[in-house]
Each structure stands twice: as C-alpha cells, then as structure tokens.
Amino acid sequence: MISISKLLSLILIIVVVWLTLRWLERMTARPRANRSSSAPAPQPAPAEDLRRCPVCGVFVPTRGVGACGRAGCPADRTSF
C-alpha cells in the first residue's frame, strides 16, 4: 500500500525535476551576448548597382554580367 511518506517523496521528486527543466530551458534561451567570441563578425556584402534590361525587363548588375542569351539582349549589359 502507498504510504503518505512515499506519496510526498514522489511529489517532491516530480517538483524538483520540473523546476530543474524550467531552469535549464531558461538558461538555453538566454542570449549569448556576454560570451566573448574569437571569431569576428561577418562583413556584409557590398551593394551593387542594378539596371533594368530593356529587352527582358530583368534587373541585372551593371558590372560583370554578360548576355542572357535571349534574342535582342545586349551582349554587354553595361552599355544600356
């Protein structure tokens, strides 16, 4: 038969486990701002100027892109 002391011990164990899990959840959810990181922050990619292709209407970078292969597309995109 279940005695009062066993029932109270079971309740105490359940409460301790529940409180420990809540504490662990809060600890893992904290921001890691106070940790010092040896890796530098990644640099953002530089912005590029875009122009609209007069043939296909797609915005393309002004430098470094060749013809898209569509009929009438300018071979050099920097010329438009």
Mean pLDDT over each residue of the chain, to the nearest integer: 79
pTM higher than the cut 0.75? no
pLDDT > 70? residue 40: yes
In order, the DSSP letters of 22-72 are HHHHHHHHS--TTS--SSPPPPPPPP--EEE-TTT--EEESSS----SSTT
Residue 22 lies in a domain: yes
Q: Which domain holds residue 71?
A: 4-29+50-79
Tell me the pLDDT band of 77, cut-offs 50, 70 and 90.
Answer: very low
- Quick: pLDDT tens for 11-30: 999 999 999 999 999 888 87
Tell me the pLDDT band of 39, cut-offs 50, 70 and 90.
Answer: confident
Q: How many angstroms separate the CA atoms of 68 and 74, rounded?
A: 8
Residue 38 lies in a domain: no
Residue 37 lies in a domain: no
Residue 40 lies in a domain: no
Residue 60: CB atoms within 10 A of its CB come to 19
* Number of separate domains in the chain: 1
